[in-house]
Structure 1
Amino acid sequence: MKIIGKITDLRVARTQKLLTMALLTLLCEQGQLFSNITVNEICDKAMVHRTTFYKHFEDKFALLSSTLTSLLQDYLQMNVEDRLRQPMQSIATILSGNVLERMVQNQKKDEGFKHFFRKYIEEIFKQDFMELKNRGKQFSLPVELAVEFHSGVISLLVNWWIHHFEENITAEQMDEYYYLLVNEKILLK
């Protein structure tokens, strides 16, 4: 019985990996925007039937969320306080030379992708701030407001950085810009 469970788990993992790799391939193709990618295209690229796709994911946004979570594993395992103190340097460590960097570069003109990515980042910040709150950290304003504000600033900075990639701006410089834009007492109090 356990062996069958493992076989099933391997099949599920294989299917999800095929779908993830197909989406990544499509997202990294020059001129291919997430908003224009269809579930059928993903399934064709993965050689997976459309009904199988829907057994694993509600839609292409659920697949994108799962894909981002997979790509951001190292970032998500970093110390929460370090991520929040040096947000751009933390992001840079996982972006540099990664498929995520190519994907984000290629999707920089897709408003739908940028909106989704911002909401995704916002959810990470929400979890980070709630973890700090659970550890006893006191905030001088409502946590939800801090989350929305900081995720918006980070999203703005990431998008700006992507659009100015050729200027070789360092992650340290981007963190300086971050602290010029926000009240660092909110995080470092």
Structure 2
Amino acid sequence: MKNNGKKIDLRVTRTHKLLTMALVDLLCQKGQLFSNITINEICDKAMVHRTTFYKHFEDKFALLSFTLNQNLQDYLQMDVDERLKEPLQSVSKILFGSVLEKIVQNQKKDEAFNNFLIKYIGEIFRRDVLELKKRGKGYSLPIELVAEFHSGVISLLVTWWIHHIGDDVTAEQMDQYYYQLVNEKIWLE
């Protein structure tokens, strides 16, 4: 099997899988905050040497990003138009009922985790808006400004929603809130 012209190294795949599973297990433990998790804890749980960890990841944030990418493959393969027109419904399809929901619930009180998640989600939406530009979509405002604005709004709405999951706010309601907060005509230009 090849990847970008290079043969896939099963040892690398195995190491990534072990480290990812270890991080997920730690993030799902009640009371265990991402900020308090150490590289040593991750390595011990994964049974991977610390030097091996650093051969693959710069730090635990890089591992978290990799882990999120692995768990969001279905979401990232959705059509960009669908993700942008129904942003919270799109997010709900991959978040709720998955290990990500448990992680996010357990990490609600961790400021570092939440800040990382906001930036991570924002970057996805920023890339999506810029992808529409590549497809020829025109805007009356600078596309970079539109991308920055909407990525920030979506990130904050997802964060708010996560903190209010017990309030039974549906994905459809969240998309309605989104369109009430922003100029919904921007997607219709």
Contact residue 19 and residue 46 of structure 1 kept, 8 A: yes
1:188 to partner: Cα distance: 2.5
TM-score, with normalisation over the residues of structure 2?
0.93
Structure 2, unpaired ranges of 5+:
none
Instruction: Look up the match of 2:184.
Output: 184
Q: Give 1:6-25 correspondences, 5 Å limit.
A: 9-25=9-25
Instruction: Look up the match of 1:164.
Output: 164
Higher mean C-alpha displacement, 136-145 vs 65-74: 136-145
Amino acid at match of 2:181: L
Instruction: Look up the match of 2:79.
Output: 79
Contact residue 130 and residue 147 of structure 2 kept, 8 A: no
> RMSD of the alignment, in Å?
1.5
Contact residue 126 and residue 150 of structure 2 kept, 8 A: no
Structure 1, unpaired ranges of 5+:
none
TM-score, with normalisation over the residues of structure 1?
0.93
Instruction: Look up the match of 1:33.
Output: 33
Higher mean C-alpha displacement, 100-109 vs 118-127: 118-127
Amino acid at match of 1:40: N
Output the CA distance in 2 between the equivalents of 1:70 and 1:188: 32
3-state SS, counterpart of residue 144 of structure 1: helix
Query: Is 2:92 the counterpart of 1:92?
Result: yes
Hey, which bits of structure 1, 4+ residues long, moved more than 3 A? none
Instruction: Look up the match of 1:59.
Output: 59
Output the CA distance in 2 between the equivalents of 1:130 and 1:10: 34
Amino acid at match of 2:140: S
Count residues with an aligned counterpart.
Answer: 185
Amino acid at match of 2:127: Q
1:1-53 per-position Cα deviation (integer Å, ceiling 9, x unaligned): x9xx86x7111100100000000111111111111111111101101000000
